[in-house]
Structure formats: structure tokens, C-alpha cells
Amino acid sequence: MTPSLATRLGKLELAYPTLMGSGCYGSGEEFAPFADLSKIGGIVLKSVTRLPRLGNPTPRLVHTPAGMLNAIGLQNPGIEWYLERELHKYKDRPCKIVGSVAGFSIDDYAYVCERLAARDEIEAVELNVSCPNVAREGETFGCDPDLTERVVAAARATTDKPLIVKLSPNVTDITAVARQAERAGADALAVVNTVRGMAIDVESWRPRLGNITGGLSGPAIRPIAVLAVYEVAQAVNIPIVGQGGIENLSDALEFFLAGATAISIGTANFTDPRIPQRIAGELQAYLARRNLGSISEIVGRANVGISTAYQYEGDEG
């Protein structure tokens, strides 16, 4: 029997456990000539805000060891234009489409979420309370458990569609934010967004990003993301979309074992647009090899229960 790759995030059913990360896959249209969209679970669209945003000055990207820094700054045409001119394009995509909402006040989030969620073209909404590339406010929400709870509650009140809340790794205790997002009615959590970072050109002594700082993504952040998923999975009962540097089967498995019900692939698409399909194929073969019927059988099964020979005082050094 072929193992099933289907998974679900609350009411959102996915034929494949692979979402394409917000801001990395455009509308799907851009990647359609190079990848088979019917072989991925879904696309999280680029985050949209209430008003149009020009985005950050250039350069917006820097390649770094095992990853990249980006500071796009939420360039988008604003929700009205988006609904009028863009959203119809997503109607016939052969995979699930998840809208992504960013904002600068609780009102903004609720407004954009309501407008977006009213449309049939999207099946779920992700709240980006964790963008590191807009002057403070955007990420402040995701860094404060109480504010996160208020934003999620306000968004929750506007829609019955599945609500995914995307958490920031740039916090001391991600589980506190996770718990309050769950309490406020999130159906699932996306763990994690990019890690704040910076690069400086040693010839000109200038920051290499126009925005000075940016968000680090790619394999460089994978251990940070795996830990975040592991910790959040202990803290909440809602499903988790694991993300951060996933490039191949083994990376994906780490996230499932840590407690993710689905995974999201962002930067790896910039290496090879076939990676999501390859991971799905290899995942199926992996499950078959181990006589497992579905990925639910590996979610959260990291074997951390075996005690070591002696008790550590701490977990480092």
C-alpha cells in the first residue's frame, strides 16, 4: 500500500504536507513553468497589508553562509488592489492557497483578515505577526504574547477560515507566544519566520542591506527552527507547520519528528524549484520503507525520552 502524504491543519486538508513559504513563491504563477503545483500541498501568498507598501530600499538580499538575508519590507499593492486585481489569479491553482496578512495595528490585521477571508480564492489565512523587516511594529506583535493574543482574537472574530499564526524566533520564550495564540483561537502555528541578522561590507564599511538589518533564512537557521518546533509542540495542542532551512528529505523528517504536522519550504526554492516535489516523493518512499501508512505516524516522535548515562547540569558546554 502506498503511504498517504495527506495531512491536515485544523480544517485545512492538504494532499501533500508541503506548503511554500510566504514571500518565497510569489503567487505560484511565477513557479508554474518550473515546478508541478499539483504536487505540492499549498502556497502561502506573499503578505498583504491594508495600504500599499513600496517596500525597502535596495539591496534587499545578501547571500550568506548556508542561507540568505532578506529585507523586502512587505512590498505589496495593499488589500483593495489585491482583492480587485490579484486574487482572481489564484482561483484555479491545483493546490491549496493560503492568504497572508501583515499589519501595524490590531485594527489593520482584523480589517485585512476579514476582507481577505471573505474570498473563495483562498482556503486559509496566515497571520504574519513576525516580519523582521518593517520598522519595529510588525514584529513587536509576535514578540509580545499579550499583543499576539489580541491580534489573533481580533482576526479570529472576522473569519471561520482556518487561521495559521506565524511565530517569530526572535523571542526569549516562543512557547509563551504560542500558547496565547492558541488560546485566542489559532487553528495552527507556523514555526518559524526568519531570524534577525546583519551583514557589513568590509570594503565600504556599509551594511550590505539597504534596510541595514534583515531576516536570515535557509539551512543556517534550521537547528533554531527545529528546536522552536519541538518546544512549541510540547506547549500547544494545535498543529504546527515547521519551517526554516528545509532542503531535503532528512531536513523535512527532522521537523516532523520534532512535532510538525506539515512543513513549509521557502529559500530552498531558490536553489532548485524541484525540491518540494523531490521531498514529497522521497517522503513517500521513506514511509513505505518503514511500513508506515501516513506521516501522522512520525509527527512528534523524536526519541528524546532515553536518558543519558548521567544527569546534565545544563544543556550546553
Partner 1 sequence: MALLDLHPRVHATKVIERCELAQGVTLLTLHAPQLASAVRPGQFVMAIPPSGESAATALAVYDISGKHASILFFVTGKRTSELAGLAPGARLDVVGALGNGFDCAGNQRDVAIVAGGVGIASVWLCAKALLARGARVRLFYGARTAELLVEAQRFADVGCELILTTDDGTRGERGFVTDALRRAAPPEAIFACGPSPMLRCVGQIANELEIPAQLSLEETFGCGVGGCWGCVVALTARSDRAPNFPPAQRGGSDVVYARVCKDGPVFLADELRW
Ligand X SMILES: Cc1cc2nc3c(=O)[nH]c(=O)nc-3n(C[C@H](O)[C@H](O)[C@H](O)COP(=O)(O)O)c2cc1C
Q: Which of 24, 95, 113, 131 is flagged as catalytic?
A: 131
Residue range at the interface with partner 1 (CB under 8 A); choices 104-112, 199-207, 273-281, 304-312: 273-281
| Count of residues interacting with ligand FAD (CB under 6 A) | 2
- Choose, by CB under 6 A, the member of 30, 80, 137, 201 that binds ligand FAD: 201
Q: How far is the CB of 112 from partner 1 (least distance, A)?
A: 15
Residues in CB range of 312: below 8 A, 6 or more apart: none
Assess contact for 108 and 48: CB atoms under 8 A: no
Name which of partner 1, ligand X, ligand FAD, none residue 105 binds, using a CB cut-off of 5 to 8 Å depending on partner kind: none
Stretch that binds partner 1, among 110-118, 146-154, 194-202, 280-288 (CB under 8 A): 280-288
Minimum distance of ligand X from residue 1's CB (angstroms): 31
Provide the angle, in degrees to the nearest 10, between the axes of the packed helices 106-117 and 145-156: 30
Answer with the entry of partner 1, ligand X, ligand FAD, none that 201 interacts with (C-beta below 5 to 8 A by kind): ligand FAD
| Residues 6 or more apart whose Cβ sits within 8 Å of residue 196 | 132, 170, 213, 214, 215, 216
Rounded least distance, CB 97 to ligand X, Å: 15
Q: Taking CB under 6 A as the rule, which mask of x and - marks residues 47-86 in contact with ligand X?
A: x----------------------x-x-x------------
Q: Tell me if residue 131 is catalytic.
A: yes
Write the binding mask 223 to 262 for ligand X: x where contact by CB under 6 A, - elsewhere: --------------------xxxx----------------
- Sequence-distant (≥ 6) Cβ neighbours of residue 232 within 8 angstroms: 167, 174, 175, 178, 189, 191, 240, 259
End-to-end Cα spacing for the chain: 46
Among 4, 75, 140, 296, binds partner 1 (CB under 8 A): 75
Least distance (Å) from partner 1 to the CB of residue 215? Answer: 11
Q: Which residues are catalytic?
A: 131
User: Contact positions toward ligand FAD, by CB under 6 A?
Assistant: 63, 201
